[in-house]
Amino acid sequence: MSVPSFASTSFSLQFTSLFVFFILSRTFCLATHANTTRPPRQLSLNYYAKSCPQLEQLVASVTSQQFKQSPVSAPATIRLLFHDCFVGGCDASILIASKGGRKELTEKDAEDNRDLKVEGFETVRKAKEVVEKKCPGVVSCADILVIAARDYVHLAGGPYYAVKKGRWDGKISTASRVASNIPRANSTVDQLIKLFNSKGLTTRDLVALSGAHTIGFAHCKNFVVRLYSYRGKGQPDPDMDPKLLHALRMYCPNFGGNSDIVAPFDATTPFLFDHAYYGNLQQKMGLLASDQALAFDPRTKPIVLEFAKDNHNFFQAFVAAMDKLSLINVVRGARHGEKRRDCSMHM
C-alpha cells in the first residue's frame, strides 16, 4: 500500500481550503446581494397602513362627490379599470397620455379606448391630487384606480369589498397592445371565454364581470347592426325583444344620426348596481350581442339563470371576479414600475 507524499498531501489540503473559501465567499456575496435587492412587498389589504393610513377615506372623499355630481363616473371608472387590467395588467398604463411628435400612441388613444368617458380619468386625477397632498410619492395610480372602481360599485348599490393594494404603475403604454386584448360588442361566447381564460379568469368570472353592465351606456355604433342587418342578412337580430328593438331604432338610425346618442345596458334599472341585467338577458333585452349571447350558450346560460334568481350569488361572484381581475399582471417594485405623481405622465 503506497503512502502519500508530504507534497501531495499539502496540495490536497491547500485545494480543499481554497474550495471551501470559494464556496463561503460566494454564499456571503449572494446573501449580501439578496439583502440589498429585497423582493417588493406582496399586495395586501393593509399595504399603506403606516405610509398612508387615510388612503381609502381620501379616495372616498372624491368618489362620493363625483358620484353626486356625475353618476356616469361609476360605470366610466369601472370600465376604465377593466380596460387597464386586460391590456398588460393592472398598472394604470391606460392613464398615460400620448406625447406629440411620437408615432406610437398610448393605450388611452387606441381606437378601442376612444369611447372611454372622461369622468373615469377625472376621478383618478382628482383622487391622486388629494392623496399626493397627504402622502406624496407613496400611492400608485394603479391602486387608486382599483379603490375608486370599488367605491363606485358600492355607491351605485353594489357590494362593498376590501381590495388588496401595493401595485406599482407600469412603464409601458402602447396603443398596439389594445385591440387583441379587449372584448368586442359582437364577440362570440367562444371568443370571450378564450380571452378571459388567457387572463386567468373562468367562465363564471366572465359572466359575473359582464354584470357590470347593470349600469352604464353604449353608443349606437356598438349595437346598430343588431337593429337593421344582423350578420349581414338585412334583418334585425331575432334574439332582441321587439319592443326594445323599436325603441332603439327611434334613436339609432341605420345611417347618419347623432354619434353621441347612447342607450343603457340595463333598460330596467340603468343607475342601480343589481342583478336585473341577467333578468333582461332572459327576456332578450341585452343591448350588445356579446351580452345577449351569454343567455343562450350552454356554458354560460346556467350562470345567467343563477344570477337572475339570486342577487346575493351575483354579488358574491362579482366580488371574487373583481379581486382576480385586479391582480392580473400587477407590477411590483422600482425595477419594473414607478410611482407617478401625475398619472398621465411617466416619471
Query: Can you read off the three cell numbers belonging to residue 41?
Result: 412587498
Alpha carbon separation from 322 to 97, 110, 309 (Å, rounded): 26, 24, 21
**What is the C-alpha to C-alpha distance for residues 66 and 144, in angstroms, rounded to an integer?**
15
Choose the catalytic residue: 83, 219, 312, 336.
83
**What is the C-alpha to C-alpha distance for residues 1 and 62, in angstroms, rounded to an integer?**
89
**What is the C-alpha to C-alpha distance for residues 11 and 301, in angstroms, rounded to an integer?**
78
Q: Is 91 annotated as a binding residue?
A: yes
Q: Is 183 annotated as a binding residue?
A: yes
219 is catalytic: no
H/E stretch holding 280 reads helix 276-282
**What is the C-alpha to C-alpha distance for residues 154 and 66, in angstroms, rounded to an integer?**
13
* Cα Rg, the chain, nearest whole Å: 26
Alpha carbon separation from 159 to 142, 274, 313, 317 (Å, rounded): 21, 9, 11, 11
Q: Is 202 annotated as a binding residue?
A: no
CA dihedral 276, 278, 283, 285 (to 10 degrees): 80
Q: Is 107 annotated as a binding residue?
A: yes
Q: Is 216 annotated as a binding residue?
A: no
| Closest by Cα among 108, 220, 117 to 173 | 108
Q: Is 137 annotated as a binding residue?
A: no
Q: Is 84 annotated as a binding residue?
A: yes
Q: Is 89 annotated as a binding residue?
A: yes
- Annotated binding residues for heme b, written as ranges, equal 213
- Active-site residues, by number, are 83
- Annotated binding residues, written as ranges, equal 84, 87, 89, 91, 93, 107, 183, 213-214, 266, 269, 274
